[in-house]
A = this chain, B = another copy of it.
Amino acid sequence: MSNEIDVGILGATGTVGQEFIAALENHPWFRVTWIAASERSAEKRYADAASWQLAREIPHGIAEMLVNRCVPADSPSLIFSALDSAVAGEMEAAFAASGRTVVSNARNYRMEPDVPLLIPEINPDHLGLLQQQTETRQWPGKIVTNPNCSTIVMTLALAPLCQFGLRQVMVTTLQAVSGAGYPGVSSLDILGNILPHIPGEEPKMECETPKILGTLVDGDVRPHKVVVSAQTTRVPVVNGHTALISVKFNAEPTCEELINALRTYRGRPQLEKLPTAPNHPVVYLDDPDRPQPKYDVDREGGMSVTVGRLRECPVLDYKFIALGHNTVRGAAGAAILNAELMKIDGLL
């Protein structure tokens, strides 16, 4: 097909890398032609290098592909990065410096003032930061990032409510083990247990949210004034981060207004029918027993965030529960949707 765009994947053997490969298998615009991973995997067949974790099989064309080293030579111009943050900083810069467009899931550049921290439903105009990035960094390529997985789930549930003047957010997460990669969390740590601490996770939710919900003014993102407090835990669930959220508003919306805002929320991905966009970025369920990972994590291919139990909060104003698929909507699917937005905006 004439409009197929070659893409490469950095960190292709890891948990998120595998989700990229699965999600791109039949993508109408993008075609994986190049995969790279750490030195340990380099020059192996992908099927031998990756501990494949998904129930669906490795796409046929990919299984036999040789894994490259993470250097730009011979790589296509569009690169998805699922690199570990220990190495992403330098490597992604090298790809951008050599003219590649890097659409990254790593945290390294998220809070840089000239790097979009993009959720296409929420802040598609933040791509405007790229102009500043080009000027500042003198890269022929560029870097665009998506937020942390828990942050994406939460902000998609918060964005429809911003119209009521969001002031404060308290959130507690119950996060799935796939969020820690593979081998990641030891079974001895999590079978029948709860881990009360995920290093680095709470600051991410507290810092990234104001930037995501911020406003582009004169080429800069002015952060939203909302104050976020997060407590993050790990639970024995395979996929799906659950967030229990309380919020305080400047306005005095009713319960019905809030639920209606969640139910009717749409963004550019929906209006422009981007290939990976869910019809409903937010699904509100009336059943008080929902959302649950077991039933709701795979809605619309894992790209919808499910919300339920919106009710009054005696301390702030309202409280509710949100659930999203951490490696799809929270990682690989997020980055692919970012690239789709960039394509229709002529940025690829």
Interface residues, chain A, with chain B CB atoms under 8 Å away = 15, 53, 55, 168-170, 172, 174, 177-178, 182-197, 199, 206, 227-229, 231, 233, 235-238, 242, 244, 246, 288-295, 298, 308-309, 313-316, 319, 321
Copies of this protein, total: 4
- Shortest distance between the CB of A181 and any CB in chain B (Å): 9
Contact of A191 with B196 at beta-carbon distance under 8 Å, contacts A174-B235, A229-B313, A233-B174 already known: no
Contact A183 B188 (CB under 8 A): yes
Contact A236 B236 (CB under 8 A): yes
Contact B194 A292 (CB under 8 A): yes
- Shortest distance between the CB of A286 and any CB in chain B (Å): 12
Contact B308 A196 (CB under 8 A): yes
- Shortest distance between the CB of A305 and any CB in chain B (Å): 14
Set B190, B233, B246, B290: member contacting A196, Cβ < 8 A: B290
Q: Which chain B residues lie closer than 8 Å to A53 at the CB level? A: 188
Q: What separation, in Å, do the CA atoms of A242 and B206 have in the docked complex?
A: 22
- Shortest distance between the CB of A32 and any CB in chain B (Å): 22
Q: What separation, in Å, do the CA atoms of A316 and B197 have in the docked complex?
A: 20
Additional 8 contacts, C-beta under 8 A, given A178-B188, A229-B316 = A170-B246, A182-B186, A191-B236, A193-B237, A194-B235, A196-B309, A228-B315, A315-B316
- Shortest distance between the CB of A97 and any CB in chain B (Å): 35
Contact A196 B235 (CB under 8 A): no
Set B170, B186, B295, B321: member contacting A55, Cβ < 8 A: B295
Contact B183 A242 (CB under 8 A): no
- Shortest distance between the CB of A171 and any CB in chain B (Å): 9
Q: What separation, in Å, do the CA atoms of A169 and B227 have in the docked complex?
A: 17
Among A172, A189, A288, A309, max chain B CB count under 10 A is at: A172
A-B contact pairs, 7 of them (CB 8 A): A192-B237, A196-B289, A196-B291, A197-B289, A197-B309, A229-B246, A229-B319
Contact of A177 with B170 at beta-carbon distance under 8 Å, contacts A231-B321, A292-B193, A309-B197 already known: no
List the B residue with the shortest CB-CB distance to A287: B197
Contact A194 B55 (CB under 8 A): no
Set B169, B178, B186, B315: member contacting A185, Cβ < 8 A: B186
Contact of A298 with B55 at beta-carbon distance under 8 Å, contacts A177-B188, A227-B315, A229-B315 already known: yes
Q: Which chain B residues lie closer than 8 Å to A294 at the CB level? A: 55, 189, 192-193
Contact of A191 with B194 at beta-carbon distance under 8 Å, contacts A185-B186, A227-B315, A321-B231 already known: no
- Shortest distance between the CB of A311 and any CB in chain B (Å): 9
- Shortest distance between the CB of A108 and any CB in chain B (Å): 23
